[in-house]
A and B are shown apart, each in its own frame.
Chain A
Amino acid sequence: MARVKYNGLVVEVPAGRSVLDALLDRGETIPHGCRAGACQTCLMQATQGTVPAASQRGLKAAHRERGLFLACSCMPEEDLEVCLPDTQQLRIAASIVGRRALADDVMELSLRTSEPFSYRAGQYVTLWRDAELGRSYSLANLPQTDGLLQFHIRRIEGGAFSGWIHDSARVGDALDVQGPMGDCFYTADDPEQKLLLIGTGTGLAPLYGILQDALAQGHRGAIHLFHGALARDGLYLHDSLTELAAQHNKLHYHACVLHGDDEPAADIRAGDVGALALERIGTPAGWKCYLCGDPTLVNGLRKKLFLAGAAMKDIHADAFLASGPAPRDPLND
């Protein structure tokens, strides 16, 4: 049992319970998202006491030194004094400069940041509509001198953020950008290595960024991009990827639909995107693999590719975890 001081309140946190859950239980408003240490929406700062190392995984060294930590992954072992961090220092201002429908339920969102923002295509950021609503989205374009950031945002039924983007956001609206995060990006350590990119839905966004980065950096090995969608309409970059593949011999674009109700076209395969990918490339040993999108697919494929021979260090994965409800407090059950 550790005591956590927050905002004039002293909260007892039983062993194994997170600071986030303990504060939410007490009715405090703490922004949060994936609850799995990925999205960094629940970033807090410890002003007294030492937080467990696990709660600082994935944070920049400068932030770790300032005592920043992820409240969802912080099961405190000692007493702490915590606060919400100074968001001015973590986020930069941006405004919407474009919205373009890529498919019925996918919107390309373009933002421009107010100051230079450095990142690698394929990483993700938290976009904040206001102080309370923040969600993770992946960067689909290469860094531009004018600070243009592009995202592919899928409409989620009843979704707070995606609903706002699809239905009511307008050019000129302001947003804050926090990040970047994640290690799903191209590295030129071996320009001959074969690349396997597999994504479902808007999992294509980071892969599209990685693909452009690899081409821009003159990658020489074969690049196989598999995009999986439920139906044809979900293959929202089909024409531009087909065209891009026609321009680059080493690029192979594989379109896959799960439900081939209508006879899939000659250039579209029906079936599970992971199974189709493994069938097409054979063993992934020696390949660099990027997996993005649906968490069940991403985590399942990560294991399959590893067991089929891909090295752990060569598998980069971003599971698009939804912001979930709180796990129940075992003590209050």
Chain B
Amino acid sequence: MASLYERLGGDAAVDAAVDIFYRKVLSDDRVNGFFDDVDMEAQAAKQKSFLTMVFGGPNNYTGLDMREGHKHLVERGLNDSHVDTIIELLGATLKELGVADSEIEEVAAIANSVRDDVLNR
């Protein structure tokens, strides 16, 4: 079966998903403090490669990048509860895009698989 990435509509669909997802992240007081002073365009590009990865699209995401990219946030208090929130917002994004619950669970499982890298454990 085609990956969720292909079924959603590939690259252009991920752009739309990034906008919805990033808007949710920036509006959520549980996590938006981590995004206060970032370059929005660079951040959107990172979210795009993250979503492409969890949707099963072509990506070159590595655990090492994940660790390096979040180290400074872990120092600022990033923990499991924040990862939970991000996965919740990712699920809400997919729901808005009409993705079935069973598939949302699969995506959440992939996102969950990088939790230890993100939290530098």
Chain A residues with a Cβ under 8 A of chain B? 299, 302-303, 306-307, 311-313
Determine if B40 and A313 form an interchain contact, defined as CB atoms under 8 angstroms apart. no
Q: Is A303 a contact partner of B40 (Cβ separation < 8 A)?
A: yes
Smallest beta-carbon distance B96→chain A, Å: 13
Would B15 and A302 count as touching, CB distance under 8 A?
Answer: no
- Ranked nearest first, the 8 interchain pairs of A and B with the lowest CB-CB distance are A312-B44, A312-B19, A311-B19, A307-B23, A302-B40, A307-B26, A307-B27, A313-B15
The contact string, 1 if C-beta is below 8 Å from chain A, for chain B 57-90, is 0000000000000000000000000000000000
- Taking residues whose C-beta sits less than 8 angstroms from the other chain, chain B's interface range is 10 to 19
Q: Which residues of chain B from 27 to 67 have any CB-CB distance to chain A below 8 Å in the complex?
A: 27, 40-41, 44
Q: B15 and A306: CB pair below 8 A?
A: no
> Is the CB–CB distance between A312 and B26 below 8 Å?
no
> Whole-angstrom distance between the alpha carbons of A307 and B26 in the complex?
8
- Report how far A303 CA is from B40 CA in the complex, Å: 8
Determine if B27 and A312 form an interchain contact, defined as CB atoms under 8 angstroms apart.
no
Complex Cα gap A327–B8 (Å): 44
Q: Chain B residues near A307: list those with CB within 8 A.
A: 23, 26-27
- Chain A minimum-CB-distance residue to B40: A302
Chain A residues in 8 Å Cβ range of B118? none
Q: Kindly provide the distance from the CB of B10 to the nearest chain A CB, expressed in whole angstroms.
A: 15
B16 to A, closest residue via Cβ = A311
Subset of 6 A-B contacts with CB under 8 Å: A302-B40, A307-B27, A311-B16, A312-B15, A312-B41, A312-B44
CA distance A150 to B40 in the complex (A): 30
- Cα–Cα, bound, A313→B44 (Å): 10
Residues of B contacting A303 in the complex (Cβ-Cβ under 8 angstroms): 26, 40
Min distance, Cβ B84 to any Cβ of chain A, angstroms:
23
Please give me the residue from chain A that is nearest to B24 by CB atom: A307
In whole angstroms, how far apart are the Cα atoms of A312 and B16 in the complex?
Answer: 9
Give the Cβ gap from B12 to chain A, nearest Cβ, in Å.
Answer: 10
The yes or no answer to B18 lying at the interface (CB within 8 A) is yes
Question: Would you give the shortest CB distance from A275 to chain B, in whole angstroms?
Answer: 18
Once the chains are docked, how many angstroms separate the CA of A313 from the CA of B15? 9
Closest to B41 in A: A312
Query: Measured between alpha carbons, how far is A302 from B40 in the docked complex, in Å?
Result: 8
Which residues of the partner chain B approach A306 to less than 8 Å between Cβ atoms? 19, 22-23, 26, 40
A303 to B37, CA, bound (A): 11
A313 → B minimal CB distance (Å): 7
A307 to B27, CA, bound (A): 8
- In angstroms, how far is the closest chain B Cβ from the Cβ of A68? 20
State A311–B23 Cα separation when bound (angstroms).
Answer: 10
CA distance A306 to B22 in the complex (A): 9
